[in-house]
Amino acid sequence: MKKCCLALLVLLLIMPSCGKGEGTERLFFCNLNDGCVLGDRVYSCFFRMSKITVYTPNEVRRGLCTDPLCAHDGTDGICPDDTRAMVRSVATDGEKLFLSLLLDPETAGMKPGSGAVKQIWSLNRDGSDFRLLCSRSSDGRNFSALDAGGGYLWFPERRIDEDATEGEAEYTVLMRLPVEGGEPERVTEEKYIHGLSYAMDPDGSHVAVISFAEAADLDNLYTSAGQQVEITDFGTGEKTIVPPPAEDVLLFRVHYALGELWLEAERGGERTYVRDSGEEVTETAVTMVLYRLNRETEQFEEVTSAASGSYFFGPDAVWYVRAESEYFATKPMPTGRGSEKRDYDFFITKNLVVGCVKDGEIIERAPGKGIEPGQSLTLLAAADGVLYGTLYDEQRVYDTGETINRVVALDPETLDVIRDLGELK
């Protein structure tokens, strides 16, 4: 009898680790501002009024449901592909997808006039097991994507204090919700006056926040005056304040990735060129600077910089694009207001390279096959075994006026275009 009980106990211990289903297998994941990466797929919310676009190395599809008949009939909540959602975003914890929606009260089953409703749902990667985790009122003026870590979903929430002094009536707080659902709770006591840019450690043990002091110089775009990075350890409650790495940058975004804390910042500059007419023109040129936190000194140290663009964190590297462009020509272009036109300055990309930070080293290479001179490349995401980006043909825009961004999948080893996935949607 004891042997039978022992055998049954061993079987019960083994069963959870065998035959993992679609919804429990853990993949590489990264949550972005406009969607998320899960394995080798990208879930994009660039135009949040429409369905989410799912990019894979071989195809692109619209919507989260794969069943053409759609099993969600509305009796247990709206379908994840329901176009009645005013705003939507998607995040992941490496196992499930989490959909955040902003709905009108009637769609959410509430009385008209009661204000917008924010709902958070969970679902498997095949669109099944669609569950409501949270439904709460929202003023609709500030809607942010989710982040995930440590068994929680994290999100900012806008609050209004009618008794506060001028300029401080609206503020943002950081909230968290268990991935199984329940009532969200406020994480920290801070009231973030000028919005909230934050990053969660994947294990949920730390949060890093870019915060503004009251003395922040909001009239000067490219200065770190009044800014700092606050790192909170949820285990000990200890808070570490990290000063800006430079005075001439605006702190933009923080990331936990590859076991490090990274910081993106914008550095302003100017570009001067001479038009065909001989007129000299000066315009702002932004450089994105990447920093990494030195744990010993508790200071951010510059890693690299690139004109415009962003940095994308993959399974084993940080990717970016560096490009130089030169003035090409000026000609009138439609403004979208009837027959009205205005002079538009065209630039042609030159010296285009794709860079990555891997194992502490920076490697930069020219793109491979499928990217022609005069085309600009913008990365969208770094996924497992593939890079996603958009190609923009600047010569074609000048010749025909067509502004088409084509989504492509690139091999991270050769930087060849391995698939054209069509226009960005």
Greater confidence, 255 or 13?
255
- CA gap 386, 424 in Å, rounded: 17
- Tell me the pLDDT tens digit for each residue of 105-135: 666 666 666 677 888 989 888 888 888 898 8
Q: β-pairing, 361-365 with 270-274?
A: unpaired
Assigned domain for 136 exists: yes
**75 part of a folded domain:** yes
Residue 380 token pair? 């969208």
Residue 171 within a domain: yes
pLDDT number for residue 399: 87
Place of tokens 């769609």: 107
Does residue 41 sit in the same domain as residue 174? yes
Residue 223 counted as domain residue: no
Nearest CA among 293, 235, 234 for reference residue 264: 293
Which residue, of 173, 195, 217, is where some domain finishes? 195
Torsion-angle region of 150 (φ positive above 0: left; ψ -120 to 50: alpha; else: beta): left
Q: Which of residues 195, 224, 247 is at a domain's end?
A: 195
What pLDDT sits at residue 395? 85
Tokens 């749902």 locate to: 121
Residues 324 and 191 in one domain: no
Please tell me which of 45-59, 263-277, 327-341 the model is most confident about, judged by mean pLDDT.
263-277
Mean pLDDT (the chain, rounded): 83
Q: Three-state DSSP class for 345?
A: strand
Angle at 117 between CA 115 and CA 123, to 5 degrees: 170
Query: What's the whole-model pTM score?
Result: 0.86
pLDDT tens, residue by residue, 351-378:
899 999 999 899 999 999 999 888 899 9
Whether 74 maps to a domain, the answer reads: yes
Q: Residue 46 is part of which domain span?
A: 23-195
Q: Is 67's pLDDT higher than 70?
A: no
Q: In the numeric block, which tokens belong to residue 107? A: 């769609």
Pick the last residue of a domain from 144, 165, 195.
195
For residue 295, count other CB atoms closer than 10 A to its CB. Answer: 9
Domains contained in the chain, number? 2
Give 244-261 pLDDT, tens digit per residue.
Answer: 999 999 999 999 999 999
What integer pLDDT is reported at residue 145 of this predicted model? 65
Q: DSSP letters of 400-413?
A: H----EEEEEE-TT
- Look at residue 78 and tell me whether its pLDDT is greater than 70: no
Residue 389 lies in a domain: yes
Residue 240 within a domain? no
Does 151 map to a domain? yes
Q: How confident is the model at residue 317 (pLDDT cuts 50, 70, 90)?
A: very high
